[in-house]
Amino acid sequence: MEITNIIGLAAGICVTIAVIPQIIKVWKSKKVKNVSLTMFSTLTLGIFLWVVYGFLKKDYPIMITNSISLFLNIVMIYFISKYEKE
């Protein structure tokens, strides 16, 4: 595996796992008072664009890590939408 792919995977993994603690916290507490739907929506759009970019460039580290990150951020948006009303 090329060093550029290793660096790309490492960067993608860091960015992907960064949102997991927030998801767990919201899931357990069911409180999203201090979580911004606008920020997560903007982030999710950016991640979606990275996924598209990865597919266009056939760059597997970008495709894989950002696809996982996209899923996680969609989960977070779901939680925000669901618990914001409560």
Q: Please name which of 86, 61, 64 lies closest in space to residue 2, comparing C-alpha atoms.
A: 61
- pTM comes to 0.87
4-8, 23-27, 68-72: lowest mean pLDDT where? 4-8
Instruction: Write down all domains in the chain, each with its CATH number in brackets.
Output: 3-84 (1.20.1280.290)
CA–CA separation, 13 and 65 (whole Å): 6
* Mean pLDDT to the nearest integer, 58-69: 93
Quick check: 1 pLDDT over 90? no
- Give the model confidence (pLDDT) of 14-28 as tens digits: 989 999 999 999 999
What is the tens place of the pLDDT at every residue in 39-50?
A: 999 999 999 999
